[in-house]
Structure 1
Amino acid sequence: MMTGIRTALCVIVSVLFLASCSSRPDGMHVILFSDMQAGVQEKIKKAAEQNAGKVDIFPAFQEKLLTEITAHEGDVFIVPEDMFQAYDDPENFQPLNGLPPEKTSPYTTVNKKTGEKTIYAVQIEKGKKQLNGYSFRLNRDMAAFIPVYAEKTEEALQLISQLTEAR
């Protein structure tokens, strides 16, 4: 009898402990969709992990992007620009108001009442990039955005700002 109570108590404590553990990392979660070579992906992952708690790199499939967004994964997404254009809807993204004003973007929306322009995604132009001491080359234009549900907005804006700097 006592063994059964002890076992039940252990199971309940274990379930409560596991339920209290969050699947979200403490730091920012970066999700990159790319068809880059593995070596380039590894450099980007190491560089981004210095600012982020978790970095996931997936092949550039539209379905996987929609799955990750539907599951509310990721604080910042970096995707090939043509892949982003298929999902381009300003309602799904946080405004990137924290970026320096000199950053320009083709991804803007204009408030019809005030005429105010809001950036909701940025283009990361192909070419040589540097992030946290790692250099790599992008062979295609990418788009970076912060989904509307993201919690680590400040950290995500810093990463986006670094990636859009001209080198």
Structure 2
Amino acid sequence: MAMTIRAVPGPGFVAGCTVRTWLDTTPAGPLAHLLIGHRPPRRPEETAEGIEAGLMGMVDGMRLRPATERPSTIGAHLLIRSPYAALDYGHPRYLMRLAATPTEWRLRIVSGWPTCVTIGLDPIPPGAGPDMLDQYVERVLATNRAHMGLTTIRRI
């Protein structure tokens, strides 16, 4: 079986990503979540296949697993310099800045708790609000169109 090697996309691709952060209550306490998806193709050179390949490059760069499997620990990929947060998504030169992260979310990460990173492969419509994003997460998990992993803060 041939191994597929997918390129980790650069900042132009990442700028088109949609990011959502939230905290979930679990029996072990709050769990931070980070969802990454992409808008539908909107430029002449963009295709659904190309966008999915870019997202899969991020999946490979962070060593995420299909959501049907138990999430594995992928290492320390989050950087926090309050009020800013960034994700090392596997590119050798660039980080993904996470805009508008809630204070509670950043505090949970800084205190050492893991964050569940999820990359959804289906397009996220522009302007999707919280309810639509909740439905999106349910759909990509149910249709095996998501990859996940647990990450922590990188101390530098």
Same fold (TM over 0.5): no
- Relative contact order, CA 8 A, sep 6+: which one is greater? 2
Structure with the larger helix share: 1
TM-score (norm 1): 0.27
TM-score, reference length from structure 2: 0.28
Compare CA radii of gyration and give the structure with the larger one.
1
